[in-house]
Every structure is written in structure tokens, then in C-alpha cells.
């Protein structure tokens, strides 16, 4: 007797098709401050929300019910209220607010993603004009200046907290955060390790933007700044730890190798290098967040997300030893690559 094989479900494909619907529901509700209004008025009806938004009730009801279907809102009496997830992460001013990342993705990434085929055909970014500008990271791109570092801080804060528990920096006294604009990693690592002081190395306009955040967080006495480009300027030397958090995926292989050599020179003998990234599996078949971020680099940069084995090879070539990969689960990274500069170097 032959067994009957169940047909393969089409639903995974349908859910992929619905991806744009899901993202635009979240983006539109966030841009309209729907969640902030429900925070102020829990249990508000769709008619009451429509009046506050200056819209007709029909479209507002459709948006609200879609948000409820996504577990962003829940029924409360005759109206709705925020879910615990929404209350924690999508209310402006909250400590764990990630709406800045929603804004970055919606204003900057999505237009480029809608031209993904162009990026595939030309092997050039589509999220910005690579014919007229040298880099995504310049001070002539208003979206980057206004929202990029705010968004990066939003997802870097929780990631830095997880990384602080994954590595032991208790013996370190100095940390250099290379490309540390936004300040989230420097702040959270200094918070976790009271004896640690950090220096953020980044472009001048990024340092100016970040300095305000550092002072607001109360770490102005422990986090300092060094301005420059890691491609043209030497990094401050004598560091116990050098950190590259979500930096290398922006650059091609030769540029990554150049950055790693500069980091080696910046470390004191015996010092550690930390690379915090969404690491692609060595087999290059996942995980999904890392592979999609890598594809995002196609529309945003000339880089991609790399594997732990690729980093290991480059680090050994640069003179590092004791290379290891420690996985973790966080919004902006899934692991940290740790390497050491020989003590006798």
C-alpha cells in the first residue's frame, strides 16, 4: 500500500506576499502616532480616533483592525488599547522605543528595496544616489542626518545589553567604538562595566550628533570622541578593546580587511577585538535575519553580511589569534566574533 504524501502548503509564499501589507500597516500607524494616542486614551473607539486623526471612520477602522490582527492593538471594551509589546517599544520617549528604526527603514530602506531588481542588475545601491555621492554616510543625505543614527540607537541599545552579558570586559579599562555613531554601545557597555571608559571614533558630524545623546544619558565623563575616517585616519592607539558593531557589513572585502588592520594597530598587546554583526551561516543558507540584512546591503551599500568563517580567515591574516564566535539573540546582531592581539606583538 502506497502512502499518500500531503501536498506542500502554499501559505508560506502567501505570507511572503503579504509582507508589504504588514510593514505598511505598522509604518502608517506609527507615523500617525496611533499608538501614542491609545497610550493617552486606552479604550478609545475607532470613531474617537478618527476624530483625533482628522480622518473618516472607515479607513481608521480598517487600519485599527489590521493592527489588532498583528497584535499591535487589542480590544478593550467598545474600543482598543495598546498591547504590552506596543506599549514598551512603540511609544515615543520610552526607554526601549524602537520607532526610530521603523522610521529609518520606511523612509530610507523601503524606496531602495522597491528597486531591488535595479540593484541586482547594476550591482549598485538604490537607496541613495551612488553616482553623485561617495557614501551612504555623508552629511548631505537628509534622511541619514535626521533619522539614521536615531534608528540605529533604537536597535543597538538592547543588542549592546545582550553583548555585555556575552563577553567579559571586567578587566578592560579602555574601549574604542569604531564607527560608534549614536553612542548606544559605548553607553550600554560603560553602564554594564563601571570601570570602563569609551572613545567613539566617527565622522565629525556624527560625533557632534552623538555627543548630545551621550551627555543626555549621563555618560559625558566616561565617553569621549575622536573625529575622523577609518579609511584615511589612524585610530587612537593603546586600547584594551576595539569594537566594530554593525560596521563591516557596509563595506566590501578589501575595505573590511583594511579596517581590521587598523583595529589591530589600535589595540594594546593582548587587547581584544569585538565584531558584533548579524552573521550569515558558514553554509550561506540562513539565518533569515542575517540573509535579509545582507540583501539590504545590496540596495544600501557595496557590502554584504559575512560569515563567521570569513571573519576568522581575515582576522588570522591580520595577525589576530584566539578567534571565536559567540552566538546570541538580539535585534541588531546574532553573535560576536572575538579575537585577540598577541601579547608579545
* Cis status, amide bond into 258, omega within 30 of 0: no
Strands (E), 170-218: 174-178, 197-202
Q: How many CB atoms lie within 10 A of CB 104?
A: 22
**Beta carbons of 185 and 215 less than 8 angstroms apart:** no
Active site residue 249: yes
The DSSP element (H or E) to which 111 belongs, if any, is helix 110-113
Query: What is the torsion angle, in degrees rounded to the nearest 10, for the CA atoms of residue 167, residue 173, residue 179 and residue 180?
Result: 80
Provide the grid cell at 115.
528597486
Phi (first) and psi of residue 129, to 5 degrees: -85, 95
Contact 34, 83 (CB under 8 A): no
Q: Using DSSP, state whether 108 is helix, strand or coil.
A: helix
d(CA 163, CA 186): 12
* Catalytic site positions: 249
Amino acid at each position: 500500500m502506497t502512502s499518500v504524501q500531503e501536498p506542500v502548503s502554499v501559505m508560506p509564499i502567501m505570507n511572503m506576499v503579504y509582507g508589504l501589507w504588514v510593514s505598511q500597516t505598522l509604518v502608517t500607524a506609527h507615523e500617525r502616532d496611533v499608538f501614542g494616542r491609545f497610550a493617552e486614551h486606552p479604550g478609545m473607539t475607532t470613531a474617537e480616533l478618527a476624530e483625533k486623526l482628522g480622518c473618516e471612520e472607515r479607513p481608521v477602522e480598517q487600519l485599527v483592525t489590521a493592527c489588532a490582527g498583528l497584535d499591535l492593538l487589542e480590544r478593550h471594551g467598545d474600543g482598543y488599547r495598546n498591547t504590552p509589546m506596543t506599549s514598551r517599544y512603540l511609544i515615543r520617549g520610552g526607554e526601549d522605543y524602537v520607532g526610530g528604526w521603523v522610521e529609518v527603514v520606511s523612509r530610507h530602506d523601503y524606496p531602495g528595496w522597491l528597486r531591488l531588481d535595479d540593484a541586482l542588475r547594476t550591482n549598485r545601491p538604490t537607496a541613495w544616489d551612488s553616482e553623485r555621492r561617495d557614501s551612504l554616510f555623508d552629511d548631505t543625505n537628509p534622511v541619514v542626518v535626521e533619522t539614521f543614527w536615531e534608528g540605529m540607537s533604537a536597535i543597538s541599545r538592547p543588542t549592546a545589553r545582550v553583548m555585555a552579558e556575552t563577553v567579559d570586559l571586567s578587566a578592560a579599562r579602555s574601549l574604542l567604538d569604531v564607527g560608534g555613531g549614536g553612542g548606544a554601545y559605548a553607553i550600554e557597555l560603560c553602564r554594564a562595566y563601571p570601570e570602563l571608559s569609551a572613545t567613539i571614533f566617527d565622522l565629525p558630524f556624527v560625533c557632534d550628533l552623538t555627543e548630545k545623546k551621550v551627555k543626555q544619558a549621563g555618560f559625558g565623563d566616561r565617553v569621549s570622541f575622536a573625529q575622523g575616517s577609518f579609511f584615511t585616519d589612524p585610530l587612537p592607539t593603546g586600547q584594551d578593546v576595539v569594537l566594530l558593531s554593525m560596521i563591516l557589513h557596509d563595506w566590501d572585502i578589501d575595505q573590511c580587511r583594511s579596517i581590521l588592520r587598523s583595529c589591530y594597530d589600535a589595540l594594546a598587546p593582548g587587547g581584544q577585538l569585538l565584531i558584533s554583526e548579524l552573521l550569515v551561516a558558514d553554509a550561506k543558507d540562513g539565518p533569515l535575519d542575517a540573509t535579509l540584512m545582507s540583501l539590504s546591503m545590496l540596495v544600501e551599500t557595496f557590502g554584504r553580511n559575512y560569515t563567521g568563517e570569513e571573519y576568522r580567515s581575515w582576522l588570522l591574516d591580520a595577525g589576530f589569534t584566539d578567534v571565536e564566535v559567540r552566538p546570541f539573540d538580539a535585534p541588531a546582531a546574532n553573535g560576536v566574533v572575538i579575537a585577540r592581539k598577541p601579547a608579545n606583538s
